[in-house]
Structure 1
Amino acid sequence: MTQKIVRLRIELEAIEPCIFRIIDVPISTNLRSLHELIQTVMPWEDYHLYEFTVGDRSYGEPDPEDAVWGRKVYQAKSLRLGMLIDRGVDEFLYTYDFGDDWRHRVLIASVVDAEPDVDYPVFVGGERRAPPEDVGGPSGFMDFVEAISKRSHPQYKDMVRWYGGPFHPTDFGAAEIKSRVRELALRRKVSYDAFQRSRGMRDN
């Protein structure tokens, strides 16, 4: 049976011009694995908590304190993209860092057959560099870009020092992201092959 591949478009909300990434992932991908992939393609540094919102349900890493606040958070690894597609879901929300509140709109663009001899996931493309960690959310990021883009700005030197160098909004490092996704795909392939071999040994 031919594996199905889902094309996702991930857009960072509340920022103009739009920052987005496009990726192709197996339909069997669960939300925890998708979290790891989004961290890779933006890229973020996975310092903070995350959560997916699908309809009225939240998926992430459940914490006992969630019940104290009357919240129910389901395991992200329990929900796969194929299950969402079967339900007719065509978009959902991914939130990273509840302080800065980075909200990503995840759109299911298409479902196609996998290409032979391609290791998925695959980075397809995107536009514009993602915000630095802990910059202060969308409004903080807009202030940061304004300050670091103008040498005459009173906060220019402070922002360059804080960031560690110049910031180029349109150069998001596509080649580096593609390489990182390729490495991630290889690691997952090795893990899957090892799992299949161990299962075969048990069956024998």
Structure 2
Amino acid sequence: MRAYQIKVELIGSKPLIWRRVIIPADVTFKRLHDTIQFSMDWWDSHLYGFEFPQEKLRITNDEEAYEQFKFYQEKYKGKALTKRNDPYGFIARTLETAIRQPQTVKIDQYLDKYSTITYVYDFGDDWQHKIELEQIIDDYAFGYPTIIEGEGACPPEDVGGLPGYEEFLRVWNDPKHPEHEELRQWGESQHYRPFDIALRNNFLKTWLKIKKVK
């Protein structure tokens, strides 16, 4: 089976939080999203998107954005946008970047073309991930992704992005801080934990195994 070896980095994290993963090539961006979620230890609780500014394309599970793009695309197909029908340029800006759904687009169309792509999880906390294609594998034996290396615990959900995570770590690592115990309890409730490659791979094998690649 053809597969990709990719490196997923949480941009801006210090020290760097990263995973090196092998994923079958003939899968959709929805499956790539699932792979990143399980590998990093996110909880799939927010919107996400893959950004391709070179092609003016965004692949996202944001249904509102998709439906809005689809509505204006159909309504103004073959029609010119003017000051009269688009006085503030909103429709033009909406149609400037195409929106597609992750379950409808396969990753090989883009990972073969671009060596690096950007994945954003949680548009509020704005967790940006760099996905770098490191190697193409022609004889991958498994119908599910596998983590081969990685470092760093995943930040808790809803911690407030990188600034919030930096403050979280400062208090978490300071037993004398007056909010230390309260924050530790919250962190544990959010399943903040060290990276466990065996546990993550078990999740990938259990939940993302495919009998027939779609």
TM-score clears 0.5: yes
Which residue of the partner structure matches residue 174 of structure 1?
197
**In the alignment, what sits opposite 1:77?**
103
Of the structure 1 ranges 63-72 and 35-44, higher mean CA displacement relative to structure 2 is found in: 63-72
The aligned residue for residue 156 of structure 1 is 180
Evaluate the alpha carbon distance shift between residue 24 and residue 150 of structure 1 in structure 2; reply closer, same or farther with a 3 A threshold. same
Counting only pairs closer than 5 Å after superposition, residues 1-204 of structure 1 correspond to structure 2 as 3-55=1-53, 56-61=56-61, 62-63=63-64, 64-65=67-68, 70=94, 72-86=98-112, 88-116=113-141, 118-164=142-188, 171-186=194-209, 188-189=210-211, 192=212
Distance 2:170 2:29 in 1: 34
Q: Structure 1: 5+ residue runs without aligned partners?
A: 196-204
RMSD, aligned α-carbons: 2.3
Secondary structure of the residue that 2:94 maps to in structure 1?
coil
From the CA coordinates, give the structure whose radius of gyration is larger. 2
Residue 165 to residue 47, structure 1, CA distance change in 2 (3 Å):
closer
Identity of aligned residues (%): 26
Amino acid at match of 1:19: I
Secondary structure of the equivalent of 1:172? Answer: coil
CA distance, structure 1, for counterparts of residue 208 and residue 124 of structure 2: 30
Distance (Å, rounded) in 1 between the aligned partners of 2:105 and 2:188: 38
Give the letter aligned to residue 131 of structure 2. V
Residue-pair matches, total:
186
Moved >2 Å (runs of 4+): 61-69, 164-169
Tell me the TM-score normalized by structure 1: 0.82
> Residue 21 of structure 1 aligns to a residue in which SS?
strand
Letter in 1 for 2:124: G
C-alpha separation in 1, matches of 2:189 and 2:99: 39
- The 1-side partners of 2:203 and 2:27 are apart by 18
Q: Distance in 1 between matches of 2:21 and 2:168?
A: 28
1:168 is displaced (CA, Å) by 7.6
State the 1:65 CA deviation.
4.2
Name which structure has the greater RCO, CA cutoff 8 Å, separation 6+: 2
Paired with 2:172 and 2:208, the residues of 1 have a C-alpha distance of 35
CA contact (8 A) 1:27 1:82 kept: yes
Residue aligned with 2:18, SS: strand
